[in-house]
Structures are given as structure tokens and as C-alpha cells.
A and B are shown apart, each in its own frame.
Chain A
Amino acid sequence: MQQLIGELMRTYDLAQSPLRELNETLHRQTDGSNEAQWEILNPRGGHAIAVGLDAPINVDVRGSVGYYCAGMNKKATVTVHGSAGPGVAENMMSGRVVIKGDASQYAGATGRGGLLVIEGNASSRCGISMKGIDIVVKGNIGHMSAFMAQSGHLVVLGDAGDALGDSIYEAKLFVRGKVKSLGADCIEKEMRPEHQEALTNLLKNAGIKDAKASEFRRYGSARKLYNFNIDNADAY
């Protein structure tokens, strides 16, 4: 099963061997591992493929995956050559996850770090409760995205659905297309030089060449919902 292509590359066929064995093998990889290239065949929408990785390895998944692919990822680069089901890269800590197709709901939810790139569309609740992750979506995102988003960046080259950034904390949202509606306490904000710079870097890291930071609008928190206001005391 081993092929020499530059570095030692291992191919794992999920039609032949069980998922648990694959994940256990991937979990055994360490910082100094010489098996840095992995290819996974026949994912066929399977759940929890390549979750909990904690080593600087490259994993290419050839096909579409189901729930929770690359969840809790640390250090690893996971590329899905297909679409991803709900909860892709959920609670990612660091590293890079790339989805060549579309992602289903709550992509990158609660993510604490790293970069998630979705080359197609993401559906509802993208980046819900994100806590430091950077998410770049080339297509559109669905409703309730960045709900209660605390920190990190969500960049959308297409349009955003209803209630973007509802109850948002300090995450920064950049949208190039139309926003169907903003959620409670989410407002459009001034694009200052530091935001232009951060966005330019994010686009560059995501490998996007056909979009300029100046084409985007920035959205974030009006900070009226999460700061206690004495005038609202009667409401509690």
C-alpha cells in the first residue's frame, strides 16, 4: 500500500479497511513523523474521517465526506476533494482544512484556530460560535452564520443568508456579495487599514487571487447586546 512519491505517501482505502483503524493510525503520527503524506480513498460520505489529528501531516480525502470531518484538527492539513457534511472542522484548533466542494451546516463551528477554506458554498450556521478560527468561503453562506461568533474571521466571497452575525461578540466578518439580513446586534462597520491588511493576508493564505480586500464590507458587533446596560435593567 505504500508508494514513494517525493515523500513517503500512504494510501488508505476505506472500502477495504475500517475507519477506526485509519483514525487510530493518524493519531499515532507525531511532529517528527516521516509519513507526512496520506491519501484516503472511498470516503463515501462516512462520518468523522480524519478527526482529532495532532501532527503536521497532509491528508487528501478523495471524495465526499459526512459528519464532522477533520473535527478538532491540530497542525494537520486536510483537503477534501469533494463535499463535506455537517460540522466539518468543528472545534478546529490549528492547521488547515480545505473543502474543494460545498460544506453542509455549521462548518467550522466553535473553531479556536487554524484556517478553514471552503471552495464552494457553505450552508447554514457557518462559523457558529467561532472562537479564533479563520474561515474563507469562496461561494455563499446560509442563514444564521457566525451566530454568537466570539473571535476570528469569516470571509465570504459570495452572499450571506439571513441573520448574519446574530448576537455576535468580537469576530470580524467580511462579505463581498449581498447580505440578506443582519442578525441582532450585528452592524456594518468601517473598513480601516488594519482590516484591509488582515483581509488581504487571509485571502492570500487561502490562495485566492481574484478578490481584492477593497471589494468587501466589514460587519461586526454593535456591542449593545453583550454589555450590560443599566437602562435595560427592567427587562431582566
Chain B
Amino acid sequence: MCGIVGLFLKNKKMEPQLGQLLSGMLSTMCERGPDSAGFAIYGSGTEGRSKITLQSATAAEDFAKLNAALAKDKKLDAQLTTKDTHAVLSVPSDKLDAVKAMLSADFPSIRIMATGENIEIYKEVGYPTEVAKRFDLAHMSGTHAIGHTRMATESAVTTLGAHPFSTGADECLVHNGSLSNHNSLRRELIRDGMKFNTENDTEVAASYLTWRMKQGMNLGEALEKSLDDLDGFFNFVVGTKEGFGVVRDPIACKPAVMAETDDYVAFGSEYRALAGLPGIDKAKVWEPEPSTVYFWQR
């Protein structure tokens, strides 16, 4: 099954409430995906700096070691903020590659969930309300956010199998559905140099979009092309630095409903996810069309 929620704020005054609103939306979708949950939140960035969201199964030990290593190398000018099994590492953008190389060489048990100027991705195995609480989603602020509750069908219930998946700097993807050609497509992408961490079908979709964008397509074009190349059921919600997009497969059997007011655009797998939003009674509420790419950008 799986549940998706997304909220893109048009009204700047609502930004401090983003985490609280998304957390409320996510909590209505627990039954659709009780295995694991995750969310991507686009917060305020700092000019010239990038964020790397990290995750570790042995977080306390790993992040302590990482902190010690960073303290020794003052030139890196990196700051680590831990949140449960995740941590956000803020680094000067021109040091990003050096820090990533250091992480992969010296900290093999630390995984990179996302990189970008604004994006942070948090995801874990567990009941969605518990996952949201562990990362204190309710107190996060930002411009837009996407959340997911997972009921695994295609691969194991693991942290890395949870959504969102990163598709590039400041970009992410969540998925409701199941792809039927993910194994053959994964083999093609591996031949073309793409790397995979899981057997998960959504990771293939994320990698596919990254691969298309490396060929020079923009996200909208890559999503259009995915309608030709991906076989199966999918509702995708994607996040970018400035906006978010929605696309449904041609059969469109996975549920989706959207709402728009002067203050926000919201996505939910069901109306229940939208029912608690301010002004929903007067919002324009509709079901997105199949095979149609929708995009909102500030």
C-alpha cells in the first residue's frame, strides 16, 4: 500500500509550522504504511554552505568519532548536528567533495541520505508516528516537505528501503506502488555506471531519474520519460530545491488527492491526510490526472 504526504508552502508566514503540519499529515497515513517512515524537509540554507544528512546503525559511536575527526581538521569548517540515528553535517559548499571522500574512506558505516543546500532526509524502520517523534519532525521549519509511510512489497523492511530516496543534490523521490521492470532496468543502469544500495524498486526509479538528468534532461523531462520506461504502478512525488512535482502512471490505481489554497499546495494518498490542514474547507481539492506531470515551483 504505502502512504504519501506532501506540503509546499506559498505563504512564508507558515514556514515555522511546516514540520507540525507534515507530522499531522503523516500520522493519518500510518495504516497505509506501518513498517517504516521517512521525510524530506527543505529548510533554510546558509549561503555558500551545503548540508549532508548522515545515518548510521551505530550512530552514537560513529558520530562521536566523526565529531572528533572534524575537530582536528579546522580547515574543513564542518559542523555536525545529531538527531537520533541521523546527523546533519554542514560544510562549505566548496569542501563538499572533500568531506564526502573523507566519509567514504574513513567512515564506511555512515551512509549519506541526502546532500544539498536545503534538503534533509530522515527515514527509519518503525511506526510512522514514532519515527516522526524520534527526529522531532513537529519542530522543524521549512518551505516544503514530503513524507512517506511504507508497507513493503518489493523488498525488505530496512532503513535504506524506506523512502524518500535521494535523486541528486536537493532532490528526492517517494513512491506508492510497485515497479515490475525494476530488475531489468537496474541491470541497464548498473551497466551505465549507476550504483545501488538495495534491491528496492523505488531506488531504481530514483536512480533512473538521476541518470536521465545526467544526460541533460530537467526533472520534468525525466518524469515525462519515466512514463515510457517504467512499467508498473506508481504515484511519484518528487522534491526539488524550489518545488515539488507529482506524477501518476497511466493506470492510476494508486490513490492520490491534492489541495491548493493561497497558502499552500498539498498532496495526500487520501483526503484524510489533508483534512487537518488550515482552510481545507475552502481549498480547491482534486484528483491528479494519470500520465500527467504536475509541478509547483516558487
Contacts and interface: CB of A to CB of B under 8 A. Distances in A.
A83 B290 contact: no
Interface in A103-136: 104-105, 123-124
A44 B275 contact: yes
Given A64-B275, A85-B270, A104-B257, A124 B252 contact: yes
Contacts of B257: 85, 104
A65 B272 CA distance: 8
Interface in A9-51: 44-46
A123 B287 CA distance: 8
B272 A45 contact: yes
Contacts of B275: 44-45, 64
Identify whether the interface residues of A are mostly helix, strand, loop, or mixed.
loop
Interface in B269-298: 270-276, 285-287, 290
A54 interface: no
Contacts of A67: 270
B255 interface: yes
Identify whether the interface residues of B are mostly helix, strand, loop, or mixed.
loop
Nearest to A43: B275
B253 A105 contact: yes
A65 B273 CA distance: 12
A123 to B, nearest CB: 5
Contact of B272 (A46, A104, A124): A46
Given A45-B275, A143-B290, A104 B285 contact: no
Given A64-B285, A143-B290, A85 B271 contact: yes
B197 to A, nearest CB: 34
Contacts of B286: 102
A66 B272 contact: yes
A86 interface: yes
Contacts of A124: 252-253, 290
Nearest to A44: B275
B255 A104 contact: yes
B289 to A, nearest CB: 8
28 contacts: A44-B271, A44-B272, A44-B275, A44-B276, A45-B271, A45-B272, A45-B273, A45-B275, A46-B272, A64-B271, A64-B275, A64-B285, A66-B270, A66-B271, A67-B270, A83-B271, A85-B270, A85-B271, A86-B255, A102-B287, A104-B257, A105-B252, A123-B252, A123-B287, A124-B252, A124-B253, A124-B290, A143-B252
